[in-house]
Structure 1
Amino acid sequence: MRRKTRQIFVGDVAIGGDAPISIQSMTNTKTSDLEGTVKQILALEEAGCDIVRFAVNSEEDAKTIPEIKKRIHIPTIADIQFNYQLALYAIEYGADGLRINPGNIGEKWKVKEVVDAAKEAGISIRVGVNSGSVHQEYIEKYHGVNVDSLCYSALDEVRILESLGFSDIKVSIKSSDVNQSIEVNRKFASMTDYPLHLGITEAGNKEQGLIKSSVGIGSLLHDGIGDTIRISLTDDPCREVEAGKILLRTLGLRKEGVEIISCPTCARTDIDLIPLVNEAQEAFKSYKKPLKIAIMGCPVNGPGEAKEADFGISGGKGKGIIFSKGKIIRTVEEENLLKALLEEMERY
């Protein structure tokens, strides 16, 4: 059962409560590069991103926000490091949310100015910690960076905002250690009702990062913990979104899009299955309709084993069959299998 949390908004996207779990990513362009930033955000939208975050490192970055928002269709979060004035600029120029840690921006009057501006603009704030930003007092108290020091550091950030009468908060507690990330989010979830943003920080490239993020984020989502996610990869940000969609769909938390099931190949495989599956994965990326597509290497793993698939391919020697719900539709040459599958899906 999913954890009950309060609900906040980033633009028109609800987070927490009974809202669907949203997928986030972050641009890697210079935010002041309007054309490059917009191009990347539009690609993220096409991949299925719900909320986009970008760094605001200067007033020039902040001044670009209105023009960015005119040309995109998803809410924006301004990521601020240390400088409270940049947070004020981001709010002034129309960011839909902030990512900022009160403990990093100095005196309480600076935090109050940001909170007052956020209240007036009606925007939410994400706070939290990662394994590199744990408060020193908790490192000393709990003898290092661990579940307790991470948890209570994050709680401190929340309490600062609460003391100023602000509660439109989501919290992110991340570690590059998967087990630590799982345990600290479980602990924090048991202590508050704030919505949680899940991720594994510095997870790595697309191979290592996907595995670490799937284990860490997936375990928490399976526990009913988590309200918005980012799969952080050292890769094209669109891959983060695509991976997030697959993860949510695998857990039954998002229905839209095509799920491809395919066999791992063996000596019975008589078609060139691996490139066929890769081509299909690319062809179906933008499909919104919830469909299960099977691409199987031989008749043994064809319509029988994959009979629940909406559509499928089963390979033979130099040719294959197209089937739907276990029933054979047609036989075609190997080089035309994907084309024929797409034709049958279009008819459907």
Structure 2
Amino acid sequence: MIERKTTRQIHVGPVAIGGGAPIAVQSMTNTLTSEVEATVAQIRRLEQAGCEIIRVAVPDQAAAESITAIREQITIPLIADIHFDSRLAVAAMEHGAQGVRINPGNLGGPDKLARVVAAATMHRVPIRVGVNSGSIEKDLLKQFGYPTPERPDALIESALGNVRLLEEQGFFDIKISIKSSDTLTTIAGYRQLAQRTEYPLHLGVTEAGGLIAGTVKSSVALGILLSEGIGDTFRISLTRDPVEEIRVGYELLRSLRIRERGPELISCPTCGRTRIDLFTLAEQVEQRLQTMESNLKVAVMGCVVNGPGEAREADIGIAGGHGVGIVFKKGEIYKKVPEADLLPVFLEELERLEAERKTKA
């Protein structure tokens, strides 16, 4: 049983962060925020996958002004990601942003920061102090050196220094992130930061890479930290469709038995007995499972001989053969169908099973 570190609780819209609240899974759009239709379409796909908080880039006034129209069409809280320009942070909040991600030290001085804090206070918007290895102040780099696993001090001091700038303005509705592209530096940094602050922590490995490299690096760093009770919300950063970030995020939480959302997929790695395109079949099933909520165990197996037995604990599964496939439940054959009909028949049975679970719930 993982014992989570106790942190302060803040709210991004209706979503609680820290203070024992469920660890929130979030992502960031990769559309132009000013292109409202495309941005809303992507966010709706993320909502279906289980995204609980979405962040959008605000590089200009058009993006800030688009937040109003975007929020009208989505159901999850929206955070504005701001770099350097305090005017954009204020404009984003005026147009409905429910959170802002800034680095207080690079907004142009105390007066500009004061305007951002005043807007955040008036609109009841929390601020994420976000520090990356590439954005650390020069004096801290000179004092502590570039962050490494052995000495991540520059990251931590930068974050806490920026937090103090907000505290001096009387603002405490804060969460913190200190991201590195190095897995071990990320782990070491958050471990030390967790000992020095009670603010909720947003976890992430920045610039983690594509699907394979990014998933591995993020899962190692975040998996270790979450298993130690560190972290209140996170983003898996991938150079991919952001829906993939949500899929990886929930599988990470499931593997640690922290949270379970939707069905769990069990699938075999294939072998010489496989006579169907199991890769495509498993991917199609997995895509459908991402939109489901019931806590089912679903199996996709490549062999009708051994598949059902190997996945005996699955609530429902399919296994393919040469020209024929089977649907099985709890290891027992339920239905035999032609291979061409296997996926649609299985999805129909899966929908029926989920409906039964929802009715009982």
- TM-score when scaled to structure 1? 0.95
> Is 2:73 aligned against 1:71?
yes
1:252 matched to 2:257? The reply is: yes
In the TM superposition, what whole-angstrom CA distance separates every residue of 1:229-248 from its partner, at most 9, and x where no partner exists?
11111122222222222222
CA distance in 1, matches of 2:107, 2:192: 26
Q: Distance in 1 between matches of 2:55 and 2:133?
A: 21
State the Cα distance separating 1:338 from its structure 2 match.
2.1
Q: Which amino acid aligns with 2:312?
A: K
Q: Are 1:341 and 2:343 counterparts? A: no
Q: 100-109 vs 29-38, which deviates more?
A: 29-38
1:176 aligns with one of 176, 181, 186: 181
Instruction: Map residues 266-277 of structure 1 onto 2, 5 A cutoff.
Output: 266-277=271-282
Mapping of residues 81-96 of structure 1, within 5 Å: 81-96=83-98
Unaligned runs of 5+ residues in structure 2 are 354-361
- Summarize deviations over 1:165-200 as a string: whole Å, max 9, x none: 111111111100011111101110111111111111
Indicate if the aligned counterparts of 1:263 and 1:301 stay in contact, CA closer than 8 A.
no
Alignment of 1:2-41 (within 5 A): 2-41=4-43
Q: Give 1:320 deviation, angstroms.
A: 3.0
Supply the RMSD in Å over aligned alpha carbons: 1.7
Q: For 1:75-112, what per-residue CA distance to the aligned partner results, in whole angstroms no more than 9, with x for missing partners?
A: 11111111111111112222101101111112212212
Q: 1:296 aligns with which of 301, 310, 315?
A: 301
Q: Kindly state the Cα deviation for residue 343 of structure 1 after the two structures are TM-superposed.
A: 2.8
Residue of structure 2 equivalent to 1:151: 156
1:271: how far off? Answer: 3.3
Corresponding residue for residue 124 of structure 2: 122
Residue 150 of structure 1 contacts residue 173 of structure 1 at CA under 8 Å; is this kept in 2? yes
Q: Which residue is equivalent to 1:59?
A: 61
What's 1:140 paired with?
Answer: 142
Native 8 Å contact 2:49 2:291 kept in 1: yes
Letter in 1 for 2:230: I
> CA deviation digits over 1:138-173, x for unaligned, max 9?
211113333111111111111111121111111111
Percent identity of the aligned residues?
54
Closer/same/farther in 2, CA of residues 207 and 157 from structure 1, 3 Å limit: same
Give me the whole-angstrom Cα distance separating, in 1, the residues matched to 2:35 and 2:277: 43
Structure 2 CA distance for aligned equivalents of residues 274 and 154 of structure 1: 44
Q: Which amino acid aligns with 1:166?
A: F
Greater mean alpha carbon deviation, residues 162-171 or residues 246-255? 246-255
**Residue pair 2:133, 2:146 contacting (<8 A) in 1 also:** no
Letter in 2 for 1:31: T
TM-score, with structure 2 as normaliser:
0.91
**TM superposition outliers: structure 1 runs of 4+ over 6 Å:** none
